[in-house]
Amino acid sequence: METTSIKTRKNNKWVFVFAFLLIFLGFITHFIFIGRPAEVVFDEVHYGKYANGYLKGENFFSGHPPLGIEIIALGGWLGGYHPHFSFDHIGEKLTDKSYIALRVMPNLAGSLIPLTVYILAMVLGFPSGLAFLVGLLLNFENALIVQSHFILIDPFLILFGFLGLVFFFTARKKNYGWKYLLPMSLFLAMSFSVKWTGLSFIAIAGCIALWDLIIFLKNKEQRILKRLIKLSLCFLALPLLVYSLTFYINFKLLSKSGPGDAFMSEEFRSGRENFIEKFIELNEADYNSNVKYLTATHPYSSKFYTWPFMIRPIFYWVNGDARIYLLGNPIIWWLSTLAVFLLIIYIFIKKFKDSTANILMIGYLFNFLPFMGVTTRTTFLYHYLSSLIFSIAILVYLIGKIKYSKIIFAVLFVLAIAAFLYFAPLTYGLNMSSQQYENHVWLDSWR
């Protein structure tokens, strides 16, 4: 008994050591070069303008739910940023350091994603060492760093979605207790309050909870009504309340006329206090913007079926010999894609039965397959990032099942670090000679 207690204390110690290392590495890889470049990068032209709108109180239209932009604006307000940059075009010079305050919150969210997925992996049954490796690989995944290094909202969607899953799977182990269901509901709602694609996370949890409810019913449990009410509140009522609250804050902050007025009706512009009608109209406008109007082509757009192979990265910024690409770590990206195909073969052909593997595959597919239905608007490689995280967890999980896994993990980690460092100039916008750039363009489609 004493030996078991000692082992438990040692294991707990390593859990905290691993968590600290992931936080430390997350802050380094995300906050290093946070001010570089001192120019507007890619979609900062949009989200910088929207943050200005909140800080000026002037109405704008983004086409997304408001939470992500509200968080960016909060970071700017806390950091003393005053809305004096126009964010008119990529490459616009940012002449003082105040813009960094707008980049802080996305970088903070991005730096916490590896830790969050590490915790989720352990909740799903990964040994702490394997869970730590998942977090390490995420810390050195170049595309995830790029997408959270600038004034962009995707890191909030990803962080909140995976935090929601942490609490959901913990609640599942604890007989769906309120203590874990309530924060689950909050974070899942916050995810789709950033972008509607965050609904994939609540779909993952909801489908698994529904399956558990069916099993509960088959076992003729007497408390089925109580369970049903609890889940209805946490998957429907509370998320809708949180989602609505983000719009309430949005309407309160945007009290002045602005460029967003052109997208809304006269009743919307006049009825400042009529929340329900404004809430419905703005959501309809967001839907139409995404489904009907965002149909223009883009030179760096890509179809969903190319994402697992990283065929078309996105050119975010260029200035002389310095460039920034949304380009993933090829070692991590391509091996994780191979792992997904192997797991599909095992599950659907060899009838591989493993609850953890099945959950990881559900997470991957629920974030990936909905894009099959996106045919009218442009899509980009960054839409794959949530699925990528699940694929990396699948890679580590499968390697952990085979012989000589420790040697394979060591080789994988060394290669992943080498690839991260090799592509770091394109991640952080460091100067490269023309020949160095050409050496980094492994595929013609990367140009």
Burial of 413 (0-12, 13-18, 19+ CB in 10 A): middle
Confidence of residue 8 (pLDDT cuts 50, 70, 90): low
Which residues neighbour 435 within 8 Å (Cβ) at sequence distance 6 or greater?
none
**What is the percent of the chain where pLDDT is above 90?**
84
- The label of the residue with tokens 């170049």 reads 142
**Cβ–Cβ under 8 Å, residues 333 and 306:** no
Distance (Å) of CA 130 to CA 20, 120, 162, 392: 16, 12, 18, 11
Residue 440 contacts residue 422 (beta carbons within 8 Å): yes
Looking at this protein, which amino acid is placed at residue 421? L
Report the percent of the chain where pLDDT is more than 70.
95
d(CA 405, CA 127): 13
Query: pLDDT band for position 292 (50/70/90)?
Result: low
Mean pLDDT, the chain, rounded, equals 93
- Res 196: pLDDT: 96
In this prediction, residue 347 carries a pLDDT of 85
Q: What is the dihedral of CA 132, 135, 139, 143, to 10 degrees?
A: 150
Which of 20-29, 148-157, 263-272, 377-386 bottoms out in mean pLDDT, i.e. has the lowest? 263-272
Model pLDDT, residue 350: 72
Burial 295-316, CB ≥16 within 10 A → b, else e: eeeeeeebebeebbebebbbbb
Distance in angstroms (rounded) separating the CA atoms of residues 372 and 366: 11
Q: How far is Cα 226 from Cα 235, in angstroms, rounded to an integer?
A: 14
The pLDDT tens digits for 147-196 are 999 999 999 999 999 999 999 999 999 999 999 999 999 999 999 999 99
Q: Which of 282, 311, 329 is nearest to 426 (CA)?
A: 329
CA distance 313 to 143: 9
pLDDT of residue 217: 78
Stretch 54-83: mean pLDDT: 97
Using CA atoms, how far apart are residues 111 and 390, in angstroms rounded to an integer?
A: 17
Q: Sorting pLDDT into bands at 50, 70 and 90, what band is 144?
A: very high
CB contact burial 92-106 (16+ within 10 A = b; e otherwise): bebeeebbbbbbbbb
What is the per-residue pLDDT across 83-133, written as a single tens digit (0 to 9) for each? Answer: 999 999 999 999 999 999 999 999 999 999 999 999 999 999 999 999 999
Cα–Cα distance, 232 to 6 (Å, whole number): 42
Q: Exposed/middle/buried for 76, CB within 10 Å: 0-12, 13-18, 19+?
A: buried
User: Does residue 5 register a pLDDT over 60?
Assistant: no
Six-digit token pair at 349? 């052909």
- List Cα–Cα distances, 344 to 91, 145, 341, 405, 412, in angstroms: 43, 28, 5, 20, 22
What is the per-residue pLDDT for 273?
A: 72
Confidence check: pLDDT of 351 > 90? no
Residue-wise pLDDT tens digits, 69-91: 999 999 999 999 999 999 999 99
pLDDT-derived band at 374 (thresholds 50, 70, 90) equals confident
CA distance 256 to 272: 10
The residue type of 231 is: L
Query: How far is residue 111's CA from residue 118's CA, in Å, rounded to a whole number?
Result: 12
**Residue 7 confidence (pLDDT) above 60:** no
Q: Alpha-carbon dihedral of residues 315, 106, 50, 382, nearest 10 degrees?
A: 40
Neighbours of 22 (CB within 10 A): 26
Lowest mean pLDDT among 23-37, 157-171, 349-363: 349-363
User: What is the rounded average pLDDT of the residues 251-268?
Assistant: 92
Q: What is the pLDDT of residue 220?
A: 66
pLDDT above 90 for 375: no
The structure tokens listed for 227 are 């369970």
Residue 268, pLDDT above cutoff 90:
no
Q: What is the mean pLDDT of residues 287-315?
A: 87
If we measure between CA atoms, which residue out of 116, 106, 100, 102 comes closest to residue 155? 106
Query: Residue 208 half-sphere exposure, CB side, CA atoms within 13 Å?
Result: 22
Q: Is the pLDDT of residue 411 over 80?
A: yes
Give burial (CB, 10 Å; 0-12/13-18/19+) of 142. Answer: buried
Question: pLDDT tier at 9 (50, 70, 90 boundaries)?
Answer: low
Q: Which residue has the tokens 């391509």?
A: 334
Contact residues for 413 (Cβ-Cβ < 8 A; gap 6+): 133, 136, 137
How confident is the model at residue 377, as a pLDDT?
Answer: 84
Please state, in angstroms and rounded to a whole number, the distance separating the CA atoms of residues 157 and 160. 6
> How many helices and strands (H and E) does the chain possess?
18, 2
